[in-house]
């Protein structure tokens, strides 16, 4: 019986000392501020497209940080962004409902443009140039493909085009298990 008490006493003491140490540690190594919003924001693609249901990337990042939003709402970011956020937040990854989309870029059919500047106002990244009563045009290299300019256009002269694949942006895909198909490919060539 005495053994039991000794054990209980020593463990309680140990727990108490550890607790005090922890308390001291939190006081001395306290992290100032909460950089998690910035960290999430840095992971987001900054299209400011609002497809997540929030009015931009930063608001979504804040929502995720405050656990008001799931990690899987960023459509343009795709799986990689979702995994990175899930990893950062320490939550289970969730599947993105909409499938991966090809990167898009907006294009104005200039001969139909009436120069109303509404699209310019709606562009979150200032990628549309033009003045009232002048043709507007989209700076393709700065366009994030957010589609926010489509709705305001009164004459529907903006198209979303698939971004052309650039030679210098081409990257090797993951090696597939299709190497065994080498023989089949040859047969197909023969038939063709």
Q: Is 174 in the site for other proteins (CB under 8 A)?
A: yes
Select from 72, 104, 144, 149 the one that contacts other proteins (CB under 8 A): 144
Quick one: which segment of 1-9, 28-36, 90-98, 178-186 binds other proteins (CB under 8 A)?
178-186
Select from 36, 39, 46, 118 the one that contacts other proteins (CB under 8 A): 46
Quick one: which segment of 10-18, 25-33, 107-115, 169-177 binds other proteins (CB under 8 A)?
169-177
Select from 40, 41, 73, 108 the one that contacts other proteins (CB under 8 A): 41
169 class by beta-carbon count within 10 Å (0-12 exposed, 13-18 middle, 19+ buried): exposed
* Minimum CB distance to other proteins smaller for 33 or for 173: 173
Report the distance separating Cα 85 and Cα 69, nearest Å: 12
Select from 54, 56, 72, 106 the one that contacts other proteins (CB under 8 A): 56
Report the distance separating Cα 147 and Cα 105, nearest Å: 8
Report the distance separating Cα 7 and Cα 15, nearest Å: 12
Half-sphere exposure of 17 (CA within 13 A, CB side): 5
Pairing, β 128-129 against β 158-162: unpaired
CA distances from 150 to 103, 106, 167 (A): 16, 8, 29
Report the distance separating Cα 168 and Cα 1, nearest Å: 78
Q: Is 90 in the site for other proteins (CB under 8 A)?
A: no
Per-residue x/- mask for other proteins, residues 113 to 142, rule CB under 8 A?
----------xxxxx---x----------x
Report the interface residues with other proteins, using CB under 8 A.
41, 44-48, 56-57, 80, 123-127, 131, 142, 144, 165, 167, 169-183, 185-186, 189-190
């Amino acid at each position: 019986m005495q053994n039991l008490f000794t054990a209980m006493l020593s463990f309680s003491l140990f727990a108490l000392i550890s607790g005090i140490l922890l308390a001291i540690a939190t006081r001395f190594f306290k992290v100032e501020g909460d950089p998690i919003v910035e960290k999430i924001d840095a992971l987001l693609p900054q299209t400011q497209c609002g497809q997540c249901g929030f009015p931009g990337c930063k608001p979504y990042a804040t929502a995720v940080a405050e656990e008001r939003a799931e990690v899987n709402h960023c459509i343009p970011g795709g799986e990689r962004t979702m995994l990175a956020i899930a990893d950062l937040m320490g939550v289970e990854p969730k599947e993105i409902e909409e499938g991966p989309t090809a990167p898009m870029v907006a294009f104005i059919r200039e001969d139909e443009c009436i120069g109303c500047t509404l699209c310019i106002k709606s562009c979150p990244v200032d990628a549309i140039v033009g003045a009232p009563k002048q043709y507007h045009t989209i700076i393709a290299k700065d366009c994030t493909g957010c589609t926010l300019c489509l709705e305001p256009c009164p004459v529907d002269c903006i198209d979303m085009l698939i971004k052309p694949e650039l030679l210098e942006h081409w990257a090797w895909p993951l090696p597939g298990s299709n190497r065994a198909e080498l023989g089949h490919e040859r047969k197909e060539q023969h038939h063709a």
